[in-house]
Chain A
Amino acid sequence: MIRRRHVLTCGLALPFVAKAQAAAKVVVVGGGFGGATAARFLHRNGVGVTLLEPNDTFVACPFSNAVISGERSLDAQRFGYAAVRAEGVTVVHAAAISVDAIGKTVTASDGTKLPYDRLILSPGIDIIWGGLEGYDEAAAARMPHAWKAGEQTLLLRRQLEAMPDGGLVVMSVPPNPYRCPPGPYERASLIAWYLKTHKPRSKILVLDAKDVFSKQKLFQNAWQQLYPGLLEWVSLSDGGKVVRVDPATLTFETEFGSHKADVGIVVPPQRAGAIAATAGVADRSGWCPIDPVTLESRLVPGIHVLGDAAIAGAMPKSAFAANAQAKVCADAVSALLRGDKPQDPRLINTCYSVAAPDYGFSVAGVYRPVNGVLTDIEGAGGISPLDAPDTQRVQEARYGDRWFQTITAEVFG
């Protein structure tokens, strides 16, 4: 809940003096691809920035599917904040626990109250425990989600390694929206790759609450070519929607029957990170409506929301999108702080997936505000060609590797 009382007690006397003497101050909550980028770009614009992030180390989700399939170390996914701090951003390793949008302060878990002129929330996602019947925090220790990279990623890796040849992997996929739209299908592909090369009598079954998904034709072509009989996708129309899981028996129940897994993976229903609801910027969907020019909340003035937590129109919940939004938001907030009108932005998203280590493809989009919503620019963007030669799949897999190196260098390096 937003605390309104503070404005009465200290809103008149203290901040007037303090703010007149200090430069404009922005607090950024969340040190992922969105938040860390926003903090650094604001600092470069001459704005005083404090970044609130509870963890010392960020574990990146993009490419973590390759940790699950055993081709990559989790260490390659870890990034610290030394460079962000060295650049001049004040990094505080604490969580934001409440926001006073009237008095313009954030209270951190270490008890400090941080004043702000503008607040940027980039809190990522939270899992809705119980959003799928049977799937609570305890269940995640048996049936990993691995949708926040870290221990969960390693747990799933260990389970796959321990599974005997001939085993059945089952993964349930939720309806939209969720973090990383093509992520479940890349994961299914790379698990199939692992099974094909190490446990070829095994199988992965994908139970989906949707009939269509990101890069669908590209994935399905790859599956047909690489994993016939090994990877089976069951759409919503074919009864793929999981209605309940039982972690004790690793069972997935659909409306039509049940599947007992040897390794069970649940991509769970999600919403914006908890601070979004606490600050009052999440709507009934659990996500945050924003202005497409400034990324300022439609619900609470002075608070901007970006990345996975935001309802960003046609832009997907991807690391690239969060990074692009952060840079636009940093320029918009800088303009607002100096009393200028933020410019009408264009944003780009590029997202690579692999169906096997040397089989990559991409989706891209270019977006602009139309009637208050970030909208696809017609004629631009789209997916890699379906008839591309193998050489292009190899090339795009390598471009994906390089993208990860480049973007993590921009955000954390």
Chain B
Amino acid sequence: MTGRAGIALVMILAAAAPAPPGASSCSGCHGAGAPIAGHDAKEMTESLIAYRSGARPSTVMGRIAKGFSEPELDAIAAWWAARK
């Protein structure tokens, strides 16, 4: 990629922060808007951790949350919280 167009493209691409590992899959069930987009990050992390331990009962979320560490869940929640 060379020239001005290349630089412009790099700027456009850099503007969109890529989703942290796993986060882009969420919208397959939840959609890209509410309730997960813009939801409070801390509350989302707490829910995911509770799903993972079984403290909060679920059908499928517990099985999915078990695939992620706490820092990974934190990053996913923070990214979705920053979405509109």
A-side residues, CB < 8 A to B, are: 20-24, 41, 44-47, 320, 323-324, 327-328, 331, 334-335, 337-339, 343-348, 350, 362, 364-366, 368, 377, 379-382, 384, 392, 395-396, 399, 402-403, 406-407, 409-410
A403-B29, A410-B28 are contacts. A337–B67 as well, Cβ < 8 Å? no
> When the two chains form the complex, which single residue of B2, B19, B31 contacts A327, counting CB atoms closer than 8 Å?
B19
Q: Which residue, A331, A334, A346, has most C-beta atoms of chain B within 10 A?
A: A346
> When the two chains form the complex, which single residue of B18, B31, B66 contacts A380, counting CB atoms closer than 8 Å?
B66
- Nearest CB of A to B24, in Å: 4
Q: What band does the interface of chain B fall in when counting residues whose beta carbon is under 8 Å from A? A: 35 or more
Would you list 12 pairs from A and B whose C-beta atoms are within 8 A, ordered by A residue? A22-B5, A46-B16, A334-B13, A335-B18, A337-B1, A346-B25, A350-B29, A350-B60, A364-B63, A365-B67, A399-B59, A410-B32
B window 15-70: CB within 8 A of A: 15-16, 18-22, 24-32, 59-60, 63-68
- Asked if A337 contacts B59 (CB within 8 A), the reply is no
**What residue of chain A has the Cβ atom nearest to residue B26's Cβ?**
A348
- Asked if B22 contacts A337 (CB within 8 A), the reply is no
Task: Enumerate chain A residues within 8 angstroms of B14, measured Cβ to Cβ.
Answer: 338
> When the two chains form the complex, which single residue of B3, B64, B68 contacts A350, counting CB atoms closer than 8 Å?
B64
- Asked if B16 contacts A382 (CB within 8 A), the reply is no
- Asked if B66 contacts A379 (CB within 8 A), the reply is yes
- Asked if A20 contacts B59 (CB within 8 A), the reply is no
Task: Enumerate chain A residues within 8 angstroms of B15, measured Cβ to Cβ.
Answer: 46
**What residue of chain B has the Cβ atom nearest to residue A344's Cβ?**
B21
**What residue of chain A has the Cβ atom nearest to residue B24's Cβ?**
A327
A20-B5, A343-B18, A384-B59 are contacts. A323–B66 as well, Cβ < 8 Å? no
